[in-house]
Amino acid sequence: MCTFRNQEDEANLNLIRENLRLIQNKQQVKKRKDDIEIQKLVQNRFSWLPKANTVSNVFITPASHDAIVQNFNAKNSSLVFVHQPRGAGSHVTSCMNSISIEKRHSLSPVMNLQNRLLWDSSSVENRQHQEAVQLHRGPFAFGLCENLNRKCAYFTIFRDPFDTLVSLFTHCKANRNDDLCKEKSASNSTLYDWVFENAGVLFHRLLFSSEHCKYNHNSSDSTNVNIDSCNNHHRNRFEMLSTNTEKIHLATYIKSHLHKWFAAIGLFNEIENSMLIFERAFEHPFSRCKSRDKSSFYENSLVSNNAHFERVRSDEDVYNYDDDEEEDFIDEIQTVKEDINIQNALKYDYIIYNEAKRLYHIQKQVLYNKLGNT
């Protein structure tokens, strides 16, 4: 009886092992198939995404740190700060301006849309000047490294995608003429519509290519850029992806390349640690730059129903609510955040953001380990 039971148990165990093996084989086959489809998608429709001319994350690939610092000191490399929407980028930009003056490093114009298009359409003679510029920053700075024949290190600060859009909503109510706000009026929109229609905020920044913005470099008016048309074009390229699977593939590709594209990553809600990370990565005094009031970046850690409202509200979110309006807005934020359609619309951004958070915490741990050993 005991022998029979043991044999039966062994047979069941073997069956379980075989099923697990089959499942693993199917997963491996699917992964190989997905990898092939992802590569085809990027090569055929997003071929401009960064390839080789970037510095890998310096905390994950330590050799990258020595390469970027030594080359930068020899004026043979560039640092590029990618200013994400509503992501404390103004502080980093101001910091880079100070570093440029203090250390006499060359600095390009802020890479807004107009300046980026002018930069990319420069003559051959100007290209030689561009090669010598060491510091770049701006909302349309990503992709700039591809045209430089030198080591080029991107860094950025990521913010929670939903928080970003809520912050952008309040910002655009008070700043209707901001480039970020021209596609759709926040004043004539509900928070739900705004978040739903502007989902993909991380995608759109990281997919930017000036090649798809029609612009006449010979025009006497260098500000004559149809920003709405350019932004819509990039949005449409993403929306034209025919299936949810293609969008997941593209998000997965970006996720898997973040550590290769960005030499350092910061988080909005950990701005002081982020500046320490940037300082350690590039050996520039980011942590010593004068910050604005900390409320620009940190909000109260409340456990009550208004915790999310406090988290997204900052000195940059200039829109006045009376008490009743504020309470209604807090409720609206929570309702919109929990909506299944909103969660689906933002899921591609969260694939990227969650990987950025994972990389950030690896950097932070490596940094603390190094500081603990000094």
Is residue 191 in a domain? yes
Is residue 27 in a domain? no
Q: Tokens representing 327?
A: 């309470």
Is residue 294 in a domain? yes
State pLDDT tens for residues 153-207.
999 999 999 999 999 888 888 777 776 776 666 778 889 998 998 888 888 888 8
> pLDDT by residue for the chain (374 residues), tens digit each?
555 566 676 777 777 777 777 777 766 666 777 778 788 888 887 888 877 778 899 999 877 666 666 666 656 788 999 998 888 888 898 889 998 988 888 899 999 888 998 888 887 777 888 888 899 999 999 988 888 888 889 999 999 999 999 998 888 887 777 767 766 667 788 899 989 988 888 888 888 888 777 544 444 444 455 555 566 565 666 666 667 888 888 999 999 999 999 999 999 999 999 999 999 999 888 887 755 444 443 333 222 233 344 444 444 444 455 555 677 788 889 999 999 999 999 999 999 999 999 999 999 999 888 777 65
Is residue 10 in a domain? no
Is residue 1 in a domain? no
What range defines the domain where residue 358 resides? 51-372
How far, in Å, CA of 247 to CA of 256, rounded?
A: 14
Is residue 42 in a domain? no
Domain count of the chain? 1
Is residue 38 in a domain? no
Where residue 266 sits, what CATH number does that domain have?
A: 3.40.50
Is residue 236 in a domain? yes
